Chains A and B, each alone.
Chain A
Amino acid sequence: DGGITQSPKYLFRKEGQNVTLSCEQNLNHDAMYWYRQDPGQGLRLIYYSQIVNDFQKGDIAEGYSVSREKKESFPLTVTSAQKNPTAFYLCASSIMTSAAEAFFGQGTRLTVV
């Protein structure tokens, strides 16, 4: 089955630690995205990538890093520089057209303990 897989579903991090969230897609989509969602809020764009080995900052990139070494994979690292990392993280992918809807993974809920 084609889709987007995020792992883990739940993640706990101690303050000062870096953690990496996994996102894999087998939809053959060129574009991939990371969004963050806080309670009662919409989704905010962290990073996006339109092609392998290239990525762009979104609206809230500070404290995060990404890589795009393979078309299928777009991992997100939440660094210790992110002051308020507790949130619901969503990975998405799309084809490269102007009317391209984004398809989402099931999300990773990160909690700082």
Chain B
Amino acid sequence: QKEVEQNSGPLSVPEGAIASLNCTYSDRGSQSFFWYRQYSGKSPELIMFIYSNGDKEDGRFTAQLNKASQYVSLLIRDSQPSDSATYLCASSGGGADGLTFGKGTHLIIQP
């Protein structure tokens, strides 16, 4: 069974610092990985996706993928209070047959 594991947190980070969010996945056939941000009571919104080993940067966000270790991470630089949310990691097997989600990490940015 495909599984995506995340530490539920809460992860507390001071404003302006780097927040580091991690997830691991069980299915070696997973090809693409996604980070979603979800505010309380709202639907998830896509932050980044990655499918090649290494780093991918977009503004303050960097996604990292290590397929050998089955490990995905998201770094948020210069953290802002508005970054406080639950971050969901998801994997895709390569077809349009749905994403497998982790339970999410609750991130709190302390002003």
Contact = CB atoms under 8 A, between A and B. Distances in A.
A107 to B, nearest CB: 5
Contacts of B42: 106-107
B96 A31 contact: yes
Interface stretch (A12-20, A62-70, A89-97): A89-97
Report whether over half of chain A's contact residues are helix, strand or loop; otherwise say mixed. Answer: loop
A106 B43 contact: yes
Contacts of B32: 98-100
A101 B96 contact: no
A42 B51 contact: no
B95 interface: yes
Contacts of B88: 42-43
Contacts of B34: 101-102
Interface stretch (B59-67, B75-83, B101-109): B101-109
B49 A99 contact: yes
B17 interface: no
A41 interface: yes
Contacts of A106: 42-43
B9 to A, nearest CB: 11
A30 B95 CA distance: 12
A99 B97 contact: no
Contacts of B104: 42
A41 B96 contact: no
A98 B31 contact: yes
5 contacts: A43-B44, A43-B99, A48-B98, A50-B96, A104-B43
